[in-house]
Amino acid sequence: MDLDHASPLCGAGMESDCLLVRAHREAFALIEIMAGPEADAQFHFTGIKKYFNSYTLTGRMNCVLATYGSIALIVLYFKLRSKKTPAVKAT
C-alpha cells in the first residue's frame, strides 16, 4: 500500500505531512493487528476452551467476565461472613 498517496489529504508538495501521517498510521497499525471477529475463525477450540481462551474475542470476553465475577463472589463471601460472625461480648 502506497502510504504517501493513500490518503486524499496528502497532496503535491506535502511530503512532510505524509511522513507525519505515516508515523501516525504505524502507531495506530499496532491496534489494528489485534484480533477481530474475522480473525476468530482461524482458531478451532473444543470443550471449555471454546468459551474460555485468550485468543478469540468471545473467549477473552468470557475470561474477563469470569475474573470479575470471581472477584465479586470473593468480596460478597467476606462481607456476608463478617456479618454472620457474632460480636465479642465483654465479660
Partner 1 sequence: MNENLFASFITPMMFGLPLVTLIVLFPSLLFPTSSRLVNNRLISLQQWMLQLVSKTMMSIPNPKGQTWALMLMSLILFIGSTNLLGLLPHSFTPTTQLSMNLGMAIPLWAGAVITGFRNKTKASLAHFLPQGTPTPLIPMLVIIETISLFIQPVALAVRLTANITAGHLLIHLIGGATLALMSINTTTALITFIILILLTVLEFAVAMIQAYVFTLLVSLYLHDNT
Interaction site with partner 1 (CB under 8 A): 7, 9, 17, 20-21, 24-25, 27-28, 31, 34-36, 54-55, 57-58, 60-61, 63-65, 67-68, 70-71
Q: How far is the CB of 62 from partner 1 (least distance, A)?
A: 9
- Contact (Cβ atoms closer than 8 angstroms) between residue 4 and residue 15: yes
C-beta of 13: minimal distance to partner 1 in Å? 13
Looking at the Cβ atoms of 32 and 87, the one nearer to partner 1 is 32
Q: Tally Cβ neighbours within 10 Å of residue 89.
A: 5
Contact 10, 18 (CB under 8 A): yes
| Nearest-approach distance from CB 8 to partner 1, in angstroms | 9
Q: What region does 13 belong to: left with phi over 0, alpha with psi -120 to 50, or beta? A: left
